[in-house]
């Protein structure tokens, strides 16, 4: 039986999630990849245990994470039952619904029917009575926003989630959702947007500042821009990489333009001068100003988590570094 490292909480920074009472680790573990039916359960355990032993208490899932759909939640349920359930009160477990999950008109979107049915299925797969955070995964233009937000409110009142959040909503969509949830007194505490050095839409849209000013937490996904900021493409596309083999569904060779790779090379030089890897600097940068509560990292091996944790040793940036980074990111 797994026993957690007694010193785990001394290894992590915890940030308050907006103005709520909830705190999240500066780095959280996303289970989008590497926890599906095609992966080895023992490898999953090593990743989860390494994360928890180092103070990562937040584990982020969604109904359709896998492959196959639902399998990441099923594997999380197996590992909770075999090893992690004694630590349930020390864990923040989140899941989501909004994208495609099952056939027919009720397996996608933002309807009350879909969201409540999906969460019930997620809880069964994980063997839990509740999740800590339940998200609507994306805006649904075909469903009235009031219906979606009222479903989130009912989910909290039913005891099946402690807090709710939204993901992939733009600023004005977020503002509208916030007003409804505020009136209902629903504990809306967090937004999960895509954010990285190479994808700063939440700054350009004004979402990042809006969340901060209104006391809503922000947890960034894809902080490494689908792997571009790991440094693996500094000298072009390796043939044995997922991009090189054409097996990556999210990043394609056409996305790796020479202009983008030149930015990455120059960013890598700054990281080297800071005594960090490019990956570590990219994570540090997302956390640099205190407006992002937590950064979601992925891992296929335990050592990747240990390397990513080093980003927390050096989250500050000098004025000169910020100016150089801004100049690089503004190129082309």
Read off the pLDDT of residues 271-301 as tens digits, 9 standing for 90 and up: 999 999 999 999 999 999 999 999 999 999 9
The reported pLDDT for the residue numbered 244 is 56
Report the pLDDT value the prediction gives residue 126, as an integer from 0 to 100. 98
Mean pLDDT of the residues in the chain: 95
- Pair of tokens at residue 159: 């005891």
In angstroms and rounded to an integer, the radius of gyration of the C-alpha atoms of the chain is 19
At residue 213, the pLDDT reads: 98
Least confident stretch, 23-27, 220-224, 245-249, 315-319: 245-249
pLDDT for residue 235: 78
CB 210: neighbour CB atoms within 10 A? 19
Considering only 51-55, 252-256, 271-275, 281-285, which range has the smallest mean pLDDT? Answer: 252-256
Q: What is the DSSP string of 268-289?
A: HHHHHHTT--HHHHHHHHHTTT
Give 91-121 pLDDT, tens digit per residue. 999 999 999 999 999 999 999 999 999 999 9
- The pLDDT of residue 151: 98
Q: Taking a C-beta distance cutoff of 8 angstroms, is the pair 208, 181 a contact?
A: no
Cis preceding linkage at 68, omega within 30: yes
Asked if the bond preceding 284 is cis, omega within 30° of 0, the reply is: no
Contact (Cβ atoms closer than 8 angstroms) between residue 39 and residue 309: no
pLDDT at 245: 54
pLDDT confidence tier of residue 79, bands split at 50, 70 and 90 = very high
- CATH superfamily label, 8-228+285-315: NADP-dependent oxidoreductase domain (3.20.20.100)
How far is the C-alpha of 265 from the C-alpha of 48, rounded, in Å?
32
- Mean pLDDT, range 26-38, rounded to an integer: 97
At 47 the pLDDT is: 98
106-120, 189-203, 254-268, 306-320: least confidently modelled range: 254-268
pLDDT value of residue 248:
60
Which candidate, 123, 183, 193, places its Cα nearest to that of 153? 183
In whole angstroms, what is the distance from residue 328 CA to residue 326 CA?
Answer: 5
pLDDT digits (tens, 9 = 90+) for 60-78: 999 999 999 999 999 999 9
Q: Give, for 147, the enclosing helix (H) or strand (E).
A: helix 145-157
The residues spanned by each domain of the chain are: 8-228+285-315
Model confidence band, residue 51 (pLDDT cutoffs 50, 70, 90): very high
Mean pLDDT for the stretch of residues 28-54 = 97
Angle at 134 between CA 195 and CA 139, to 5 degrees: 60
């Amino acid at each position: 039986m797994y026993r957690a490292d007694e010193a785990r909480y001394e290894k992590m920074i915890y940030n308050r999630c907006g103005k709520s009472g909830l705190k999240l680790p500066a780095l959280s573990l996303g289970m989008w990849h590497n926890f599906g039916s095609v992966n080895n359960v023992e490898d999953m355990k090593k990743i989860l245990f390494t994360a928890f032993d180092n103070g990562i208490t937040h584990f982020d899932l969604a109904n359709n994470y896998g492959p196959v759909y639902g399998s990441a939640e099923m594997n999380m349920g197996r590992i909770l039952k075999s090893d992690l359930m004694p630590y349930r009160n020390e864990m923040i477990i989140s899941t989501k619904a909004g994208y495609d999950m099952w056939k027919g008109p009720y397996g996608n979107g933002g309807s009350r029917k879909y969201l409540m049915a999906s969460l019930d299925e997620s809880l069964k797969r994980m063997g839990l009575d509740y999740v800590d955070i339940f998200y609507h995964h994306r805006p649904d233009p075909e469903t009235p926003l009031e219906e979606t937000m009222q479903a989130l409110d009912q989910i909290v009142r039913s005891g099946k989630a402690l807090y709710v959040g939204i993901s992939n909503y733009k600023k004005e969509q977020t503002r509208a959702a916030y007003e409804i949830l505020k009136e209902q007194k629903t504990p809306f505490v967090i937004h999960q947007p895509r954010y990285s050095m190479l994808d700063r839409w939440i700054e350009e849209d004004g979402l990042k500042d809006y969340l901060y000013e209104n006391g809503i937490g922000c947890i960034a996904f894809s902080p490494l821009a689908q792997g571009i900021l790991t440094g693996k493409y500094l000298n072009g596309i390796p043939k044995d990489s997922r991009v090189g083999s054409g097996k990556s569904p999210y990043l394609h060779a056409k996305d790796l333009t020479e202009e983008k790779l030149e930015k990455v090379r120059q960013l890598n030089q700054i990281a080297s001068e800071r005594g960090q890897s490019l990956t570590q600097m990219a994570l540090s940068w997302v956390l640099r100003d205190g407006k992002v509560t937590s950064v979601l990292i992925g891992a296929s091996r335990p050592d990747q988590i240990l390397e990513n944790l080093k980003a927390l040793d050096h989250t500050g940036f000098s004025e000169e570094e910020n100016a150089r980074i801004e100049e690089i990111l503004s190129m082309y």
